[in-house]
Amino acid sequence: MSLFNIFNVAGSAMSAQGQRLNTVASNIANADSATSSTGQTYRAKQVVFSAVPTANPAAAGVKVQQVVEDQSPLKTHYDPKHPQADEKGYVTMPNVNVVEEMVNMISASRSYQTNVETMNAAKTMLLKTLTLGQ
Amino acid sequence: MIGKLDEALRFHQTALSLRAERQQALASNIANADTPNYKARDMDFNSALSRALSKGGPAAKPAASSPSLVNGAGFQAVANALTRTSAAHLGGTPSGVTASGAQLLYRQTAVQGNIDGNTVDMDVERNQFADNALRYEAGVTFVNGQIKGLLTAIQGQ
């Protein structure tokens, strides 16, 4: 019954989007962290999705293939009083673009919602099928 | 007698399993809306149904030992079948053919393409998804009506 497979497909998409949302949360939370646990300045992280073929050629799930770090230059601003400032008085800050992250967040949560609706529709269809002949 | 009952329900049974398969393809498109380079796929329901019906429906799949036909793809042109050099080799399913033999087609690219090579148009997919779900439920209602009719005939009341 291929309707059951919709749960796998939509579920994999939901967990992938959840991970994307997690990354966004991490980026926004660290937007102002001048340092991090590794000693390096925090770099924005992005997830890379890839399709996962299933037994049925009609269906493909989603998984997070890797998490990449944004290699764009880090932001620097002049603040000689900051404890992390270098000898010239500049502080290196993460390259997180909060506007981009907000857009990413809305996109991820909408995709998550859509997949929940997909699952609900499949559930309704299966329940209707179970009442056949009654 | 059983054959007659089978025959009476075959049309809607075939249609429902194809609808379920199409629903799955649409769910995959929706799930992969953010996957780079994913190409949206769908099936031509009319031709898939007529092909499935003309070959006797999914119940009449070719025997697995038949070397010229790939497992589950009996409704597909033989040109699509894999060539096997030994009958002991696993057949596999040719890519783009679902379990009941429907051909999966790539959607025409949208008017405004995505920069990441993804061709899923969320509006189209959601429309088709809702439409297909409704038609599936209509099919279920039809089968229910048929079963009721058959029961009335059997019981003679």
Here the tokens at position A120 are 């609900």
The count of structural domains within chain A is 1
Q: Is the pLDDT of residue A57 over 80?
A: no
Partner B contacted by A65 (CB < 8 A): no
Helices (H), chain B: 2-31, 45-54, 122-155
Q: State the Cα–Cα distance between residues A117 and A114, nearest whole angstrom.
A: 5
Interval B128-156: pLDDT, tens: 999 999 999 999 999 999 999 888 988 98
Q: State the Cα–Cα distance between residues B68 and B84, nearest whole angstrom.
A: 8
Print the domain residue range for B38. Answer: 2-155
Residues of B in contact with A115 (CB under 8 A): 30-31
Strand A45-53 relative to strand A75-78: parallel, antiparallel, unpaired? unpaired
Q: Is the pLDDT of residue A5 over 60?
A: yes
B32–A49 CB contact, under 8 Å:
yes
Contact A61, A12 (CB under 8 A): yes
B34–A111 CB contact, under 8 Å:
yes
If residue A108 lies in a helix (H) or strand (E), which one and from where to where? Answer: helix A98-130
Q: State the Cα–Cα distance between residues A47 and A41, nearest whole angstrom.
A: 19
Of B128, B70, B79, residue with least CA distance to B99: B70
Out of B22, B23, B98, whose CB is closest to A57?
B98
Distance (Å) from the alpha carbon of B35 to chain A's nearest alpha carbon: 5
Print the domain residue range for A15. Answer: 1-33+45-71+96-133
A128–B143 CB contact, under 8 Å:
no
Out of B17, B27, B98, whose CB is closest to A118?
B27
Out of B33, B98, B147, whose CB is closest to A58?
B98
B30–A115 CB contact, under 8 Å:
yes
A61–B35 CB contact, under 8 Å:
no
Quote the pLDDT of residue B128: 93
The count of structural domains within chain B is 1
Interval A14-46: pLDDT, tens: 999 999 999 999 999 999 888 777 778 889 999
pLDDT over 90 for what percent of chain B?
29
| Most distant CA atoms of chain A, gap in Å | 81
B27–A51 CB contact, under 8 Å:
no
B31–A49 CB contact, under 8 Å:
no
Asked if residue A55 belongs to a domain, the reply is yes
Asked if residue A80 belongs to a domain, the reply is no
Three-state SS for A47?
A: strand
Counts of helices then strands in chain B (DSSP H, E): 3, 2
B96–A56 CB contact, under 8 Å:
no
Interval B12-38: pLDDT, tens: 999 999 999 999 999 999 999 999 999
Q: Which residue in chain A has the smallest CA separation from B34?
A: A49
Q: pTM for the whole thing?
A: 0.80
Q: Is the pLDDT of residue B64 over 50?
A: no
Partner B contacted by A133 (CB < 8 A): yes
If residue A4 lies in a helix (H) or strand (E), which one and from where to where? Answer: helix A2-29
Q: Which residue in chain A has the smallest CA separation from B73?
A: A57
Quote the pLDDT of residue B93: 60
Interval B71-129: pLDDT, tens: 333 333 334 556 778 888 876 666 667 777 778 888 876 677 788 888 888 888 999 99
Q: State the Cα–Cα distance between residues A17 and A45, nearest whole angstrom.
A: 14
